[in-house]
Amino acid sequence: MLKYVLIGMGFMLLFEGLLYFFFPQKMKDMMKTIENMEVEKIKTIATIACIIGACLIYFTIKSY
């Protein structure tokens, strides 16, 4: 099980790193946009992302 967690974290870091590599200026602009957002809106977006991630994990594990 730990193997899959480490693989998942590796893919996450890979994709995030690729975004910063290929689109550095857009990522800086996005950080400026996030800086101006309300805290509650950021929490809402993060909660939705966590729910989607948990569903992906659950349904992937359930199907295998």
Tell me the pLDDT tens digit for each residue of 12-49: 999 999 999 999 999 999 999 999 999 999 999 999 99
40, burial (CB in 10 Å: exposed 0-12, middle 13-18, buried 19+): exposed
Q: For residue 57, what pLDDT band results from cuts at 50, 70 and 90?
A: confident
Lowest mean pLDDT among 1-5, 43-47, 50-54: 1-5
Task: Enumerate residues 6+ apart whose C-beta is below 8 A from 27.
Answer: 19, 20
Q: What per-residue confidence (pLDDT) applies to 52?
A: 94
pLDDT of residue 61: 81
Answer for the pair 34, 42: CB distance below 8 angstroms, yes or no.
Answer: yes
Residues 19/27, Cβ–Cβ less than 8 Å: yes
pLDDT of 1 over the 80 cut: no
